[in-house]
Amino acid sequence: MLQLLKPISIYPLVYFRIVFGLLMLCEGIGAVLIGWVQEHYVAPTFHFGYIGLEWLKPLPGDGMVYVYLLMALLGFLILVGWRYKLVSFLFFLLFGYSFFCEKTHYLNHHYLIFLISGLMVLLPAHRKHSLDVRRQPELESAVAPQWTLWLLRVQLLLVYFYAGVAKVQPDWLAAKPMSIWMSHKTDFYVIGPYLNTPEMIWLVCWGGVLFDFLIGFALLWPRTRMVAFWVAFAFHIFNSAVFHVGIFPYFMIAANVLFFSPAQIARWFFRKDALPAVGCHRVLAQPVWQQQIGVYFFILYLSWQLVFPLRHFFIPGDVNWTEEGHRFSWRMMLRTKSGSINFIVQDATMQKTVTVRERDYLTRDQVRELAKHPDMIWQFAQFLKEEYKKQGMARPQVYVRSYLSLNGYGRHPIVDGTVDLASVPYTRGAKAWVTPRPEADGWPWSRRVLSKAEE
């Protein structure tokens, strides 16, 4: 604990405040300019909220456009350090609101930004090179507790490492999803013909596993840090160019700078300042009890981050099929799904049957994602139950015909078509009405092991 309270140069936190604010400024404006906000919040009339948080609804009309523009403004204020604590807290609330009120297009990097923005509220990143210091010079400090920097470093390391853990599965190691993705990248300028070659596909698959497992530790070790940084730089630029994963690659490149020593960061970005080593011998300004609370938070938060992403190992079924435990677990680009789904509403008393036109209620993207996620299927069934009650059905029953292909294998029902989803309560974990992944699909290693054991 004493080591975590050791004063270190504040410059890494100041650097990260500036780049975080800049990236959030770009994210907010860019999401509006390219139409992402309009497509995911304005166009849909029905929204898939997170179960338990369905009361969170997007603002009507162009309200979410203004939310994102406001977040862009808050990002700028974080950058310049104006009313930093209040502004970063407001950004955390607004980003969390926008994230949790619509899950159709869940993105790991949005979850990471949500977490980091919450951590930023606690960090004294405004105590140097900020408008707050100009307004209140007594706020200025050259040092911060060591745990503040390690909190960000360990969070980044866990993102990388658990992305590697998630890739240790037969379909990924057999290059099933990557082969499908690369087959659609052949029209890329210059590099397109090389992306869909066996050598490139195997390099990306196995190289991705090794990268995720090792890069965080290589960034921590001074002897490999510089090489690791440039390897990570190339990795993220490749992902941005080929897979178009938004701001995430640039966020991670900027965040990886935090693995360098505070002295190096000060020399690179704050050359006009005094040498950071001078301030490292100063005493922290915060009372001891506040410092201790910070360390306890550090331990509890990272303990949760260590355990929570592994919950799918304790839930029966293949997480790639059932989606149980997939979100919030750093399971990035692991599977590809395609499917179709039809909802049938039947009146239990009048024996009237209606085949629902999902497009009457959902956008094209929502329909495509709906077929892949059992929790969203259940939510839409509950919506249809209430919708047809309004239309005069006394006891609507909702049945589903679904077909799903995972990683290029054959199509199979993902939901038991004989179950009335309108009458089924939602439960966490494995669900009886979700079909298991067919044993004939994939998993060649486990099948060989079983067959040898039977012999």
Let me know whether 229 and 284 are in one domain.
Answer: yes
Query: Does residue 328 lie within any of the structural domains?
Result: no
- My answer on whether 243 and 381 are in the same domain is no
Confidence at residue 442, expressed as pLDDT on a 0 to 100 scale:
55
**Burial (Cβ within 10 Å: 0-12, 13-18, ≥19) of residue 233:** middle
Tell me which residue range forms the domain holding 393: 337-454
Q: Residue 91: inside a domain, yes or no? A: yes
* Beta-bridge partners for 344: 355, 399
Q: Final residue of a domain: which of 312, 345, 366?
A: 312
Of the residues 270, 297, 312, the one at which a domain ends: 312
Quote the tokens at residue 338: 């395609």
Domain membership flag for residue 377: yes
**Are residues 285 and 404 located together in one domain of the fold?**
no
Rounded Cα distance between 404 and 109, Å, is: 26
Inside any domain, residue 324: no
Whether residues 263 and 389 share a domain: the answer is no
The CA-based dihedral angle spanning residues 46, 49, 54, 58, taken in that order and rounded to the nearest 10 degrees: -60
Q: Is residue 321 part of a domain?
A: no
> Same domain, yes or no, for 223 and 367?
no
Residues 367 and 434 in one domain: yes
In a domain, 330, yes or no: no
Q: Please check whether residues 302 and 341 belong to one and the same domain.
A: no
d(C-alpha 69, C-alpha 430), whole Å: 40
Closest CA to 254 of 420, 434, 42, 109: 109
Of the residues 278, 312, 346, the one at which a domain ends:
312
Residue 56 domain flag: yes
Distance CA 316, CA 430 (A): 6
Which 3-state string (H, E, C) describes the chain? CCCCCCEEECHHHHHHHHHHHHHHHHHHHHHHHCCHHHHHHHCCCCCCCCCCCCCCCCCCCCHHHHHHHHHHHHHHHHHHCCCHHHHHHHHHHHHHHHHHCCCCCCCHHHHHHHHHHHHHHHCCCCCCCCHHHHHCHHHCCCEEEHHHHHHHHHHHHHHHHHHHHHHCCHHHHCCHHHHHHHHCCCCCCCCHHHHCCHHHHHHHHHHHHHHHHHHHHHHHCHHHHHHHHHHHHHHHHHHHHHHCCCCHHHHHHHHHHHHCCHHHHHHHHCCCCCCHHHHCCCCCCCCHHHHHHHHHHHHHHHHHHHHHHHHHHHCCCCHHHHCCCCCCCCCCCCCCEEEEEEEEEEECCCCCEEECCHHHCCCHHHHHHHCCCHHHHHHHHHHHHHHHHHCCCCCEEEEEEEEEEECCCCCECCECCCCCHHHCCCCCCCCCCECCCCCCCCCHHHHHHHHHHHC
How many other C-beta atoms lie within 10 A of the C-beta of residue 346?
A: 18
Asked if 81 contacts 130 with a C-beta cutoff of 8 angstroms, the reply is yes
How would you class 116 by CB atoms within 10 Å of its CB: exposed for 0-12, middle for 13-18, buried for 19 or more?
buried
Beta bridge partners of 347: 396
* One pLDDT digit (tens) per residue for the chain, 455 residues: 668 889 999 999 999 999 999 999 999 999 999 999 999 999 999 999 999 999 999 999 999 999 999 999 999 999 999 999 999 999 999 999 999 999 999 999 999 999 999 999 999 999 999 999 999 999 999 999 999 999 999 999 999 999 999 999 999 999 999 999 999 888 887 788 889 999 999 999 999 999 999 999 999 999 999 999 999 999 999 999 999 888 999 999 999 999 999 999 999 999 877 554 444 445 566 667 677 788 899 999 999 999 999 999 999 999 999 999 999 999 998 999 999 999 999 998 877 899 999 999 999 999 999 999 999 999 999 999 999 999 989 899 999 999 999 999 999 999 999 999 999 999 989 999 999 998 755 554 444 433 433 33
* Number of domains the chain is built from: 2
Same-domain status, 188 and 273: yes
Residues 225 and 304 in one domain: yes
Give the model's pLDDT for residue 276.
47
Closest C-alpha to 329, from 351, 353, 310: 310
Both 361 and 296 in a single domain? no
Phi, psi of 184 (to 5 degrees): -100, 5
| 331 belongs to a structural domain | no
- Examine the domain organization and report whether 297 and 356 are in the same domain: no
Residues 227 and 345 in one domain: no
What pTM was computed for the model?
Answer: 0.92
